[in-house]
């Protein structure tokens, strides 16, 4: 892709050195990426995410989110919604998270703490109107339950299930509740036929793409360290399975990004 259409809706620039970032952004621009979001994984490091978002340039827009990943909930007290909201006032902060449930890495004894933190992030998203970036792994049943309960009992909130690798039940529930779904390089892997089938069924207006860089590099870069420019490979694969022109798919997913992340001016 050569046009500046694509948006990498989820990456982690804090995994790259200061010296690497200028070339990384230049390669992203050359790949047709016009914007990216560096995602927070610890609320205590919100200032670092905001500093990374200051890399913003006319060529590649950089935004950030703030929040605590479920893998890190035992490193600090569970934040209150007000703790989270207090970090969202900067123009570069366009979302909350990532937060959610991870039953693959997380020991069973910290699951209640993950759920408490997740609900605090949901409350902050509801109060601010900023979308919540959701991480979920091997926790589909509890994720569906919490999303439905929070929506039905306290009201809807904007959210994105990132790096989708779950089953069709979670995809359907997320869409029914007004959520968006983002696909990463996993969707390009040879073994991911079932995931690509889910991607085909997602309503066009709810579909986003991401890298999750530096993790999960797509085919044909699999095995290398991922970076935002590689989102073009994931977009091309998904455009193929959805039988869409590459440029049209890029424009679609970027329009969806801006519809969800309304603060990303």
- Residue ranges for the known binding site are 10, 12, 98, 135, 162, 212
User: Would you list which residues are annotated within the binding site for a divalent metal cation?
Assistant: 10, 12, 98, 135, 162, 212
Q: How far apart are CA 100 and CA 261, in angstroms?
A: 18
Two tokens, residue 168: 């069709």
Q: What are phi and psi of 95, to 5 degrees?
A: -160, 175
Q: Give the DSSP letter string of 88-147.
A: --STTEEEEEEEEEETTTS-GGGHHHHHHHHHHHHHHHHHH-PPEEEEEES-HHHHHHHH
Counting Cβ atoms within 10 Å, is residue 10 exposed (0-12), middle (13-18) or buried (19+)? buried
**If we measure between CA atoms, which residue out of 99, 83, 88, 135 comes closest to residue 263?**
88
Biggest alpha carbon–alpha carbon distance for the chain: 48
Return the C-alpha torsion angle 181, 184, 188, 190, nearest 10.
-90
Name the DSSP class of 86. Answer: T
């Amino acid at each position: 892709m050569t046009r500046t259409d694509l948006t990498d809706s989820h990456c982690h620039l804090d995994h790259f050195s200061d010296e690497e970032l200028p070339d990384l952004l230049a390669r992203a621009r050359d790949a047709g990426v016009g914007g990216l979001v560096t995602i927070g994984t610890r609320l205590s490091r919100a200032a670092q995410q905001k500093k990374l978002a200051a890399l913003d340039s006319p060529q590649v827009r950089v935004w950030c989110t703030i929040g605590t990943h479920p893998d890190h909930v035992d490193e600090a007290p569970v934040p209150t919604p007000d703790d989270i909201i207090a970090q969202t006032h900067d123009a570069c902060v366009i979302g909350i998270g990532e937060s959610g449930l991870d039953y693959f890495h997380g020991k069973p004894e910290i699951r209640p703490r993950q759920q408490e933190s997740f609900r605090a992030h949901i409350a902050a998203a509801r109060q601010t109107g900023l979308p919540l970036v959701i991480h979920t792994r091997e926790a589909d049943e509890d994720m569906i339950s919490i999303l439905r309960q929070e929506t039905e009992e306290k009201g809807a909130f904007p959210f994105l299930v990132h790096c989708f690798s779950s089953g069709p039940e979670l995809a359907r529930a997320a869409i029914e509740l007004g959520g968006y779904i983002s696909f990463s390089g996993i969707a390009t892997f040879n073994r991911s036929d079932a995931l690509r089938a889910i991607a085909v069924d997602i309503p066009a207006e709810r579909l986003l793409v991401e890298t999750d860089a530096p993790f999960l590099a797509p085919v044909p870069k699999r095995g290398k360290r991922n970076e935002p420019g590689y989102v073009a490979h994931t977009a091309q694969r998904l455009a193929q399975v959805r039988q869409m022109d590459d440029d049209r798919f890029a424009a679609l997913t970027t329009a969806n990004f801006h519809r969800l992340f309304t603060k990303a001016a």
